[in-house]
Amino acid sequence: MTRLKRCRICKKEGYIYLRHANLPLCKEHFISRVHFVVQDTIKKYEMFSKKEKILVAVSGGKDSLALWHILKELGYDTEGFHIDLGLGEFSNVSKQISENFAEKHGIKLNIFSLEKELGSSMENIIEKSYEKPCSLCGTVKRHLMNKIAYEMGHKVIATGHNLDDEASRLLGNILSWQEEYLYRQYPVLPEEEVLVRKVKPLVFLSRKELLMYCKANEIEYADMSCPYSKGARSLVLLDVIEKIEERYPATKIRFVRGFYKLRERFKPSQYVELHKCPGCGIPTASEKELCRFCRIKERVKRDVLAS
């Protein structure tokens, strides 16, 4: 193993080498850089202020726990929420770790169970559906996240999406020219009627930086991947992006930052007609009457009644 260079700022022992910035840093200066990047992102995209309460979506993984930790360190007023998806051991561990973090830091964590909200576990929904697990789970999670925040009276939801997530998602959206999705890929989506504001303060920090942030702060996180994520397209895209980054450092950050700057150009010239879902009241572009979430819910109900 090659020894790390000394910290560029204080010349103490190096903790991390940020290749995309050609910057070796010690633990202390790395932590302050992470805080600076997040604070700067919050300010630049006008995500929220210190007067607002931020609801943090906590999965128990490194990204969401790092986000919660950083916001707390920066002095924001936060509360967490965790959705227990009912995916066996994976969900049990994720929930336990989220609870441990909340307890250790004395912050409130609200726990919701999919079984209670929907009458079925995600495992059961996936097993009985022909649709792709990640797509199903994504729809359900996004819907519940919004519903929970709205009903609790919160105005902002913060999620732990990192630079790697954003770069791979952007690549995916471009590969299939998803015009609507492209425009909606942004660090902040404003509130609209029943839709709560969604913010992603970690979009300029890589997976590796968040991992090293957790280590530096002794944050225990669930180091497991979802049992249903094997073979998912998102993982292939993540892998491709990482391979390009290895050859050409700073590709990820330039790709994502550049897109945010050009985003207005991708504003769809014709908006897809939205209608209010009669089941939940959320605006939907679905051709069917009910939104996708409500259709999944209907299926669950029918299944329960039939058995």
Binding site for Zn ion (CB under 5 A): 7, 9-10, 12, 26, 29, 277, 279-280, 291, 294
Q: 3-class secondary structure for the chain? A: CCCCCCCCCCCCCCCEEEHHHCEEECHHHHHHHHHHHHHHHHHHCCCCCCCCEEEEECCCCHHHHHHHHHHHHCCCEEEEEEEECCCHHHHHHHHHHHHHHHHHHCCCEEEEEHHHHHCCCHHHHHHCCCCCHHHHHHHHHHHHHHHHHHHHCCCEEECCCCHHHHHHHHHHHHHCCCHHHHHHCCCEECCECCECEEECCCCCCCHHHHHHHHHHCCCCCCCCCCCCCCCCHHHHHHHHHHHHHHHCCCHHHHHHHHHHHHHHHHCCCCCCCCEECCCCCCEECCCCCCCHHHHHHHHHHHHHHHC
Give least dist CB 222 to Zn ion, A: 30
In whole angstroms, how close is the CB of 32 to Zn ion at the nearest point? 9
Question: Rounded to the nearest whole angstrom, what is the least distance from the CB of residue 118 to Zn ion in the complex?
Answer: 12
- Kindly state the smallest distance separating residue 38's Cβ from Zn ion, in Å: 19
Minimum CB separation of residue 296 from Zn ion in Å reads 10
Closest to Zn ion by CB, 188 vs 291, is 291
Complex with Zn ion: residue 29 or 197, whichever CB lies closer = 29
Residue 9 vs 37, nearer CB to Zn ion? 9
Please identify, using beta-carbon distances, which residue of 26 and 210 lies nearer to Zn ion. 26
Closer to Zn ion at the Cβ: 202 or 291?
291
